[in-house]
Amino acid sequence: MKGDTELIERILRLKKQRNAVILAHNYQLGEVQDIADFVGDSLELSQNAAKTDAEVFVFCGVHFMAETASILCPEKIVLLPDMHAGCPMADMVTTETLKKRKGELPDTTVVCYINSSAEVKAESDICCTSANAVKVIESLDREQILFLPDQYLGHYVSTKTDRRMTLWPGFCPTHMRIQPEHITQLRQEYPQAKVVVHPECRPEVIALADEVLGTGGMCRYATREGISQMIVGTEVGIIHRLRKENPGKEFIPASEQAICPRMKLITLDKVLWSLEEMTPEVKVPEQIRLKAKVAVDNMLVV
Ligand code: 13P
Ligand code: SF4
């Protein structure tokens, strides 16, 4: 415990010296969330950080999130305390495979989920997040849409709109661990609880939910009056924030196995090391950044 206290003090001291902010995604380890200046979903973090006068962002999340910060704030130094913290779903599409598919589907609007590399964003027309995907798709009037990389988010959106969508066969291995049986069993145990799931879950899980929300939406939903018990169908790290912000309410993970191993690579030791060494830095090359920013900006005006 003493070790942790000392470690935290060193991080906070160095953070001040470096004029840095610490950004933590909702899936981060509890101790990392607790030292962060902002805890949020994949887009909120970069947007909040952009409003500060910090020169350095220590991004406690996965690689595509740090890239999003670099796309939106090129003048900042963006540190990712462990370069191995990538998103396996984002890695399911590359520029090569995307260019090939675009060749097969001429005249198609490419919509990419924010869980994608900067290079893939640069090859896409518009971005979306779990929070605004339906709105983004509905804003398009072109006939044919290629949605990538998450087939399950894409499928969920397609049930909410009448747009024709071709879905990339990507998926999140962590959300795949949540099975419909988990929900049915927990509903029996907690008949009063609301079931809230992330749109990356399989359709059979989504069909059993009361609400389908991104992580930012889940955190807001949990604060509502009248919500006292919630079955949470997403990565288990979010339970820390939900409990901290809503004392007296009960949060039950849909599956204890829904752990994203890459998110858990970021630890307090690595945050300190990253601030000491000012590395590893995520910097999107300007040529790619400018093209990727068009896709992100197109989303932000929807
Ligand atoms: P959110 O944008 O809802 O935070 O989701 C990010 C993510 O990686 C979900 O697995
Ligand atoms: Fe990627 Fe899934 Fe981890 Fe989110 S939970 S970062 S989608 S692997």
Integer CA distances (angstroms), 82 to 59, 86, 218, 276, in order: 10, 9, 27, 14
pLDDT of the residue at 1: 56
- Name the phi and psi angles at 209, rounded to 5: -90, 155
* 13 CA from centroid of ligand 2 (Å): 31
* 27 CA from centroid of ligand 2 (Å): 9
DSSP strand E in 29-154: where?
38-40, 56-60, 77-79, 109-113, 126-128, 144-148
Which residue positions in the chain have pLDDT lower than 50?
none
DSSP label of 131: T
* 100 CA from centroid of ligand 2 (Å): 25
Six-digit token string for 42: 């994949």
**Atom 1 of ligand 2 has which residue's CA nearest to it?**
87
Six-digit token string for 87: 């998103």
- Ligand 2 atom closest to 234 (CA): 5
Six-digit token string for 149: 């990389």
Residue 115 Cβ contacting ligand 1 at under 6 Å: yes
* 87 CA from centroid of ligand 2 (Å): 5
- Ligand 2 atom closest to 64 (CA): 6
Residue 88 Cβ contacting ligand 2 at under 6 Å: yes
Mutate to test the pocket of ligand 1, among 33, 41, 48 (most ligand atoms within 8 A of CB): 41
- Helices then strands, counting H and E runs in the chain, come out as 14, 12
Integer CA distances (angstroms), 27 to 33, 88, 224, 263, in order: 9, 15, 21, 7
**CA atoms within 13 Å, Cβ hemisphere of 81:** 26
Residues paired with residue 12 on neighbouring β-strands, in sequence order:
none
pLDDT of the residue at 50: 86
Q: What is the pLDDT of residues 81-107, one digit of tens each?
A: 999 999 999 999 999 999 999 999 989
Residue 66 Cβ contacting ligand 2 at under 6 Å: no
Question: Is it true that the peptide bond before 149 is cis, omega within 30 degrees of 0?
Answer: yes
Residue 86 Cβ contacting ligand 2 at under 6 Å: no
DSSP label of 34: H
* 62 CA from centroid of ligand 1 (Å): 10
Q: Which ligand is nearest to the CA of 130?
A: 1
* 200 CA from centroid of ligand 2 (Å): 9
Residue 260 Cβ contacting ligand 2 at under 6 Å: yes
Q: Which ligand is nearest to the CA of 86?
A: 2
pLDDT of the residue at 2: 61
